[in-house]
Amino acid sequence: MSEILDFAKRNAEKVTPQVLKNIHKKLPLLKMEFSQLNAPNYPHLVDQLEFLANVVEDFAEGQAEDLPYVAVAWATYALLYTHRQIDLIPDSIPEYGHADDSAVVRAALIEFENVWSRFADSRNWDWDKITSKA
């Protein structure tokens, strides 16, 4: 998993406030797209993406200004990566197509687990459900 963490970190560092602003504008469409994911081998991926989208939305709208920008950048990159049409493993490959998406999302969740756990608690969201510990 360390390779994925390094990959996500390098790319999250490229998330500028303008990139965040652009993703914020696309969030309604991204949320719809993510809710339609067919990834039976990754049953928590949709909930995790919804959580990260809510993080980005709340931060961009000034409702979560206490979150570290670096954590929000990782969340933003995870959303961008999952949305990409071309990634490490094509989504069209049965059973494995979303493995890379799930790995990038999990990297963002793991890297900032304490931040996300507190954020989820502040919103009365079930962190264990999001992280698949339930």
What does the pLDDT look like over 19-29, one tens digit per residue? 999 999 999 99
63, containing H or E segment: none
What does the pLDDT look like over 50-105, one tens digit per residue? 999 999 999 999 999 999 999 999 999 999 999 987 777 777 777 888 899 999 99
Question: Which domain covers residue 15, as residue numbers?
Answer: 2-131
Of residues 111, 84, 112, the one with CA closest to residue 100: 84
d(CA 66, CA 26) in angstroms, rounded, equals 23
Full-model pTM: 0.92
pLDDT interval class at 33 (50, 70, 90): very high
C-alpha distances in angstroms, 58 versus 20, 40, 43?
12, 28, 24
d(CA 6, CA 12) in angstroms, rounded, equals 10
- In this prediction, residues 102-128 reach a mean pLDDT of 95
Residue type for position 127? W
60 backbone dihedrals φ, ψ, rounded to 5°:
-65, -30
Domain count for the chain: 1
- Compute the Cα dihedral for 90, 95, 101, 107 and give only its sign: negative
